[in-house]
Amino acid sequence: MDWAIYGVPFDGGVTYRPGARFGPRAIRMESQYVKRYSIEHDVDVCDVLSIADTGDSPVAPYNCQANIKAQLDFARTLGTKRTRLLAVGGDHTIAYANIRATWERRNKLRGRGGGLPLIHFDSHLDTVDKVWGEKWGHASVFRRAIEDGLVNPKRMISIGLKGPLNSKDDLAFAKRKGVEVITYEECRAGGGWQLAAFVDALEGDAAYITFDIDCIDPAFAPGTGTPSVGGFTSAEALALLRSLAGVNIAGADVVEVLPDRDPTGTTALLAAHVMFEILALDAHRRGKKTRQGDKRTR
C-alpha cells in the first residue's frame, strides 16, 4: 500500500464555526465522482499507486491532546513504514498527529532525525501560541509541530495568507523562525516562482503537504469554519498544486471542510479533487522514475 487515506472526524480545536467533524463523510461521498487519470501530469494514478481508504480514526471529541494520541495510535497501524499517510479532517489540529506519524516513518527509513519540510496552503499561519489560554487547537498546530522538532521552520513555506489578522504579532513567530510566507496578494502578483524555488531547494527531500480548504475564496469553497474572503479560485489552487510536479511527498492532509455550510457539496468535491492532485503528484514522480529506469534498462 503506497497511500493510506483515513478520516479524522474531529473539530474540537476550532475557534469559530464547528462542524468539520462531518468533513470526512462528505468528502467520501463527493469523491465518488473523482476520476483516476490526470491530464496535466499524463498519469493514471491508480495504475501507479496502491491506495486504500482505511476508514476513520477513533476520536476524543472533548480534548485536543487526547484526540492527537488516539489519532496517532491509529495512524501508526496503517500499512508499513513505507506507506504514506493522507489524513482528511476535521479541523487543522488533526495535522499534528499525521505529521508526527509521517516524521516517525521518515526517520525510520532514513535512520536520522530532523524536522520535515512543510508546504502549507492556508489563509492563516496557524502559529499562534495560545487561544483563550489553550495551547492545542487549529490556530497553534504548526507552532507545536515546530517546537517538537517535527517540522523544520527554515524549510517551511506558507501560501495564501491574507488578512485581516488579530494583530501584527500573529506573524512574529513565523518570521522569527524563518518560515517563508507568500501572501495571496503576492502570489497573485506573480509570487508563484517562490514556490517553485522552494521545491527546487528541497533537492528531492520528502516534504509534507498540508492543505486548509479556507485558502480558497468562500465564493468557491463556502463550506469551511473560518472563511477568509479574497482568496484563491478553485482553478488557481489546483494550478498551484500541479506546479509542484517533481516534489517528493512524505505525507499530507486536507482539512477544515464544514459541509453544513455548503449544501451543494461543492466544497467537499473540491477537497476530494485536492486530494487527487496530491496523489497525482506522487504518481507522476514515481511514474517518471519508472520510465527513466526503463530507458536505462533498454
Task: Determine the distance from the C-alpha atom of residue 119 to the mean position of all C-alpha atoms in its chain, rounded to a whole number.
Answer: 8
Q: What is the pTM of this model?
A: 0.95
Q: How confident is the model at residue 281 (pLDDT cuts 50, 70, 90)?
A: very high
What's the average model confidence in pLDDT over 197-201? Answer: 95
pLDDT tens, residue by residue, 210-242: 999 999 999 999 999 999 999 999 999 999 999
CA atoms within 13 A on the CB side of 26: 28
Q: Where are the alpha helices (DSSP H) in the chain?
A: 23-30, 45-48, 64-75, 94-110, 141-147, 172-177, 184-186, 192-202, 234-242, 266-297
Region 272-284: mean pLDDT is: 98
Asked if pLDDT for residue 249 goes beyond 70, the answer is yes
DSSP assigned state of 111: T
pLDDT of residue 291: 59
**Cα distances (Å, whole numbers) of residue 80 to 2, 3, 83, 181:** 9, 10, 5, 34
Mean pLDDT (the chain) is 94
164-173 contacts, C-beta under 8 A, 24 or more apart: 166/128, 170/125, 170/127, 170/128, 171/125, 173/125, 173/127, 173/128, 173/129, 173/143
Return all residues near 264 (Cβ < 8 A) that are at least 6 apart: none
pLDDT at 297: 43
Cβ neighbour number for residue 186 with a 10 Å cutoff? 15
Residues 6 or more apart in contact with residue 241 via CB below 8 angstroms: 121, 211, 274, 277, 278, 281
What is the arithmetic mean of pLDDT over 98-124? 89
Mean pLDDT confidence for 68-84: 97
pLDDT, position 113: 65
Q: Which residues neighbour 291 within 8 Å (Cβ) at sequence distance 6 or greater?
A: none
- Digit-coded pLDDT (tens) for 113-138: 689 999 999 999 999 998 998 999 99
